[in-house]
Structure 1
Amino acid sequence: MKTCVITGTGSGIGREVAILLSHAKEYEHIAMLGRNVEAMKVTENLMDETGKDISVWDIDFQYPEKIPAIIEAIYEKYGSIDCLLNIAGYTDPQSLLQTTLDNMEMTYKVNVFSPFLLIRESVKYMKKSGGKILNVASTAGMTPRPGWLSYSSSKASIISMSQTLTDELSEYGIKVYCVSPGRCATKLRKRLAPNEDPTTIMQPRDVAEVICNLISNEESCLDGQNIVIRKQIKKH
């Protein structure tokens, strides 16, 4: 029986992925990690628990040093880690002269250091039988985004990390995927573009469907790429 570890399931893309994954056949065990336990419990109530063992793990990713113990506990509970989805994200958009070291550190702890440690600790177990890792970056990590320095640079790091690990982990039969969504109606997007009408842009379910297709058993050739996800909005 296979185990999938997911972050960011309290809302947005992560919640939609968790719901879709609960209806899929690939993973019988689903471990959801995050600091908003109440929100993750709401997600759990929206999932199909038939034939699934779903668990919620309390961790604040601004303290990434706590990750190794949680990944070890998940492995001890389920006996395997076969898939890791790094979806959680953080942003506090500021211009260069307003950006503090604390801002940069907080953003990188959640967006870069935590995914790094989640990957490293998961691979310790995943390398025994192969598996899949998927990281959610952003189109903000691909082009200049004035005023979003900490966020956009952290997402560029995720793109680079994913591409590097594709080659490094191939010997273990581990496939590494990276997706970069464009404008998507999430809480994080609201902080980046507070005046934007969320009904006019891509929805979390659109991105979730792509992610679930990538981690399905049928997908085997799209790893190692930065997969951009955009939805064309009809103009009236």
Structure 2
Amino acid sequence: MAVILAGGIGVRVGLGIPKQLIKIAGKAIVEHTLEVMNASGVIDEIIIVMNAGAIDQLTSLQNDERFPKLTRIIPGGETRNDSTQAALAALDDDPNTKVLFHDAVRPFVNERILDECVEALDHYEAVDTAIPSADTIIQVDSASHITAIPNRSVLRRGQTPQAFRLGTIRRAYALANEDKTFHATDDCGVVFTYLPDTPIFVVDGTPENMKVTEPIDVHIADKLFQLQSASLASDVAMPDLTGKVVVVFGGSYGIGASVVEVAREAGADVHQFSRSTTGTDVRSRGAVKQALKEVFAASGRIDAVVMSAGVLRMGPLTKTKVKHIESSIETNFVAPVVVSRAAHKYLKETGGQVLLFTSSSHTRGRANYGIYSASKAAVVNLTQALAEEWAEDGVRINCINPQRTRTPMRTHAFGEEPVETLLDPRQVAEVSLKVLDSGLTGQIVAVRVEEAPKVQ
């Protein structure tokens, strides 16, 4: 049994909504946490204890086919301890039931931690999760004077899950409720204080098992979700796309052409469009709509739409012609907007995905191609925004960030470069197909030259 504690109101995170409902990588944080719990082989049932004022925002999850182990969503109390006791009141009467309490805003808990917590309950009545402290911990008094510096080697930073035999945690809270001075910040603290003879075993956590509490944590969590896609290149086999219909805009050369080639090798029915081969201008709403309409008429479905077309012009802004500035913005940003908008209705029917492309220059504007890098930064924001907008429709959208790839566009802009410093377009295409076959959404997946074809 797992209890996900989602009673927080998110004051510190400062986004105006309960922190567990903040969306990262296209899903609310609590959904990410729920996915991990639901996938665990050691968890049979899940209860969510939700902030009573926002409980209606989670009711749809209870009938969601993604979470068959989720049986109840109940209102929490004013404090964490109140929420725990609300869950205890809802559980069965078997004192030997194994129950895990986990923060909804720790979405990076892994299978190993869950397994070890449950296994430890075969030998202990209470289990905590913690990691060593990398910082020196000091103790201060009311005047902010240091009064003690504990030995760091014996200190740990507490995390969740915390696991208990049901009878033990109930007994600890029964004693706590008789104490008018009772105060604890977590459930192991209740056992430690009121059942001092009960040993509490500690399972090793991970630094990634962070709690999203402060505004900066949201940004860190977003990056950690991107890092989770590292296995796409090395650990995941090329997908079988037999029966899938893939549309590639900008498929005549470079990365787009490689995507077409690799997708066909994977068994997909691939349709490619470009200005040079089909006369399709990706900046034209009418041309894009007509292309998708033709594919749907011929194939009856569209499962993925890839937009790889782009243009890179070098030169100082003050010396760049206005028509070239406009063309760059239209091709590199407006076109992805046009393609994404037109693709949505087809992908909604298949639960499909849009795949866009950005550049490593999106993180910082580069001299002499500022319009390009600014447009690519806009594509990143577009990806993340649409992932949230389209989550309820089941339409996914991701963005590939290939660093220094050997394409005609790059060669034209930068000239010949050492081959070993560049990605091969096929490497990028292979990662792209793995992303298309994944459940990811809202991700900016970087394919790095240094570790090609790894993904971060």
Assess if the C-alpha contact under 8 Å between 1:64 and 1:109 holds in 2: no
Question: What amino acid is the match of 2:304?
Answer: C
Alpha-carbon deviation of 1:169? 0.8
Structure 2 equivalent of residue 228 of structure 1: 446
Structure of greater relative contact order (alpha carbons < 8 Å, 6+ residues apart)? 1
Q: Are 1:36 and 2:254 matched, yes or no?
A: no
Structure 2 equivalent of residue 142 of structure 1: 363
Equivalent residue of 1:176, what SS?
strand
Residues 233 and 127 (structure 1 numbering): CA distance in 2 closer, same or farther, change over 3 Å? closer
Equivalent residue of 1:208, what SS?
helix
Structure 2 equivalent of residue 22 of structure 1: 264
1:31-88 superposed Cα distances (whole Å, 9 cap, x missing partner): 1010122xxxxxxxxxxxxxxxxxxx43133544422222222222221121011111
Residues 62 and 176 (structure 1 numbering): CA distance in 2 closer, same or farther, change over 3 Å? closer
1:1-52 superposed Cα distances (whole Å, 9 cap, x missing partner): 4311102221111111111111214x3x211010122xxxxxxxxxxxxxxx
Q: Percent identity?
A: 27
Alpha-carbon deviation of 1:180? 0.9
Question: What amino acid is the match of 1:228?
Answer: A
Task: Return the alpha-carbon distance in structure 1 between the equivalents of residues 350 and 416 of structure 2.
Answer: 47
Structure 1 equivalent of residue 252 of structure 2: 10
With 195-204 and 166-175 compared, the bigger mean Cα shift is at: 195-204
Task: Mark the runs of 5 or more structure 2 residues left unpaired by the alignment.
Answer: 1-242
Superposed counterparts of 1:76-87, under 5 Å:
76-87=297-308
Assess if the C-alpha contact under 8 Å between 2:312 and 2:372 holds in 1: yes
Task: Return the alpha-carbon distance in structure 2 between the equivalents of residues 166 and 198 of structure 1.
Answer: 35
Structure 2 equivalent of residue 208 of structure 1: 429
Structure 2 equivalent of residue 51 of structure 1: none
1:113-144 superposed Cα distances (whole Å, 9 cap, x missing partner): 22211111111222123101110111111122
In the alignment of these two chains, the number of paired residues is 210
With 63-72 and 108-117 compared, the bigger mean Cα shift is at: 63-72
Structure 1 equivalent of residue 352 of structure 2: 131
Residues 128 and 233 (structure 1 numbering): CA distance in 2 closer, same or farther, change over 3 Å? closer
Residues 62 and 125 (structure 1 numbering): CA distance in 2 closer, same or farther, change over 3 Å? closer
Alpha-carbon deviation of 1:147? 0.6
Task: Mark the runs of 5 or more structure 1 residues left unpaired by the alignment.
Answer: 38-56
Assess if the C-alpha contact under 8 Å between 1:134 and 1:177 holds in 2: yes
Structure 1 equivalent of residue 179 of structure 2: none
Question: What amino acid is the match of 1:213?
Answer: K
Task: Name the Cα RMSD after superposition.
Answer: 1.9
Q: Are 1:165 and 2:386 matched, yes or no?
A: yes
1:133-172 superposed Cα distances (whole Å, 9 cap, x missing partner): 1101111111221110121111111111111011111111
With 189-198 and 154-163 compared, the bigger mean Cα shift is at: 189-198
1:195-236 superposed Cα distances (whole Å, 9 cap, x missing partner): 5334532111111111011112xx21x3212111112179xx
Assess if the C-alpha contact under 8 Å between 2:283 and 2:338 holds in 1: no
